[in-house]
Structure 1
Amino acid sequence: MTSFPAVTHVAVTVTDLETSVPWYTRLFGAEPVLDEDTGPFRHVVYALDGGQLFGLHHFPEGVWAGEFSPRRVGLDHVAFGCADRAELESWCDRLDGLDIKHGDIVDAHYGSGLAVKDPDGIALEFFAPPAA
């Protein structure tokens, strides 16, 4: 083993697939490649550029009622890589066109980020490395 493997997929648990599937379909600009009831949960999966998969899980017995918080132990956010700040600006325009609320681009010495939350409040980010 010479290097650590790449992340192949991320799955998030949502409260309502009827709300989340159309939202993520608009965000990704693609239809799901899988919609399957596994027994314990139903999952809907998207194939993203670069070979990564992004899944939505829904448990029929219900979900924990607490709101998502990045301060709670567990997932803080999922970040999607952008080539540069110009690509982040393009994502701002695209999100505006999709009527998806988002924050402003935040620049830091380690890169620039654009934050957005899904219908359940799960934090997503578009992130670009610092300018060379």
Structure 2
Amino acid sequence: MPEITGIDHVALTVIDLAASITFYEAVLGASVMGTMDDGPFRRAVLALPGPTHLGLTQHDTGSGRPFDPTNPGLDHVGFACASRHELLAWGEHLDALRVRHSDVQDAAYGSALSFSDPDGNALEFFAPAP
């Protein structure tokens, strides 16, 4: 079997590309590394820390409805963090940006802090259990 080396990117459909770029730049410190505007959609690719990228796509024929994690498909995107302490720092960062989020939720396998982007895409900061 051929080998994969990890996840290169996650691509999300958004309603307003410019608003989503602004959100991810502010929340994650991501930067746009490329754009595409040659089809029935507009896309931006943002660089995240490490080898992973985030694609944001605004389709010309999109429904305009916000994301619903109960439909089949993507449930959420989890961003890796080193520790539960880092999750608390992310909570403070989100508070400063007035981004609503959950409290840190602990489970046997790790801890998570959940929030959503402007389109309701479910996002999470996750730290594995020590």
State the Cα RMSD in Å: 1.6
Equivalent pair of 2:81/2:125 in contact (CA under 8 Å): yes
Match of residue 58 from structure 1:
58
Match for residue 28 of structure 2?
A: 28
1:3, distance to aligned residue in structure 2 (A): 5.1
CA distance in 2, matches of 1:95, 1:54: 19
Write out aligned runs for 1:1-132 (5 A).
1=1, 4-61=4-61, 63-131=62-130
Unaligned runs of 5+ in 2: none
Residues 1:12 and 1:102: Cα distance change in structure 2 (over 3 Å): same
Distance 1:31 1:3 in 2: 29
Normalised by the length of structure 2, the TM-score is 0.91
Distance 1:64 1:74 in 2: 16
Call closer, same or farther: CA 1:65–1:15 in 2, change over 3 Å: closer
Following superposition, the deviation at residue 66 of structure 1 comes to: 4.1
Deviation per CA, 1:69-88: give whole Å up to 9, x if none: 22210000000001110111
User: Unaligned stretches of 5+ in structure 1?
Assistant: none
For residues 4 and 18 of structure 2, the distance between their equivalents in structure 1, rounded to whole angstroms, comes to 36
**TM-score, structure 1 normalization:** 0.90
The number of residues matched between the two structures is: 130
Percent identity at matched positions? 45
Q: Alpha carbons of 1:30 and 1:65: their partners in 2 closer, same or farther (altered >3 Å)?
A: closer
